[in-house]
Amino acid sequence: MLRTGCRAAVSRRPPQGSAPRRLKRTPLDALHRSRGGRMVPFAGWSLPLHYEQGHLQSHLHTRSRCSLFDVSHMLQTRVYGQDRIRFMESLVVGDIAELKPGQGTLTLLTNERGGIMDDLIVTNTLEDHLYVVSNASCADKDLAIMRVHGCLNPVGGGKAVSQPPASPGPSMARVLQTGLSDDLAKLSFMNSITTTVFGVPGCRVTRCGYTGEDGVEISVPAGRAVELAEQLLGVPEVWPAGLAARDSLRLEAGLCLYGNDIDETTTPAEAGLMWTLGKRRRMAMDFPGAAIIMAQVKEKPKRKRVGLTSVGPPIRPHMAILSSEGTPVGTVTSGCPSPSLGKNIAMGYVEAAHSRAGTTLTVEVRKKQHPALVTKMPFVPTQYYMAK
């Protein structure tokens, strides 16, 4: 299990003497088990790590064909009210006001110290609300913050993700289009519609994804989640996929995992996520931690998130990153062997002086130092779709 790349993402055993916390189950739990899913704890939920075909084949299948991921554990929230945009902008760094109807964006929930409390997707729906998707591990925290203003509604229901191919010929689009009345070719990356999917009405289809591939997330009423998933999995080229493949795919795409690569001790400037701040927000400096974050931009952060590649033993989270002289300069936050590239990939934070692509560093693996090269991310080119 720990060799899959999900090492730091799997929930740890509760402290001795404490009552074990009962894991929540998604609407697709029975389906996972019937298909041989190896269930593990993740952020308080029981989710599949992988299926009978194993992690490697699942990862490669997602890159070449199409896979189905269950992300029902993530928090979905509707934010209502005339001041919903102003309210959301008081919490996050993104320019929510500039979003067109149906358009969404990745943004960061920050604290007064400039730390990242969560990374969210906020969509300006065609209806009368904002649609917000939060990480499961941050659900209670995020909801508590948003509930202060009392203008939101947690969404019940399942949320399944159809992740497509990286090869020419959009397998995901071809598979999904057969069950849609809307033209998927008109739906660009980070845009969303509410539609009927394979006969299931009221589904929110958002063109995005956590693998770097052209994908969609489908938010579906819980009572019909199994029905929709079974229809999608009835297509021979669609395989179910679990946490292991999701983690190695997102790492190849250079995407952060909250709790590993970003948390309340890291800032957008350190994490290389300043692109999430719109020009208007930078000028206004009206988001939590703005003074600290913008000062870091001006003065340059002392540490930066970087990508690393290596050969030899795999690089894992918490391993020390050393300079060529053997001096500690940083720490690995995520790492695994890349099924697509056939070498080790990782990301972590290093002192700014050692962050330039092409810099040779070393990583300490089992008390031995192994060469690692600072490498630009993404490691595998992304395939996000933009309508013409």
Output the known binding site: 217
Residues 369 and 326 sit within 8 Å (Cβ to Cβ): yes
The span from the CA of 62 to the CA of 172, in Å, is 10
Residues of each annotated binding site for substrate: 217
Residues 67 and 238 sit within 8 Å (Cβ to Cβ): yes
Helices within 218-322 (DSSP H only): 225-233, 243-252, 268-271, 279-284, 290-299
The span from the CA of 230 to the CA of 50, in Å, is 17
Structure tokens given for 58: 């699942």
Structure tokens given for 29: 């739990």
Q: Is 22 helix (H, G, I), strand (E, B) or coil?
A: coil
Residues 266 and 88 sit within 8 Å (Cβ to Cβ): no
Structure tokens given for 228: 């929709």
Structure tokens given for 133: 């998707």
The span from the CA of 39 to the CA of 354, in Å, is 40
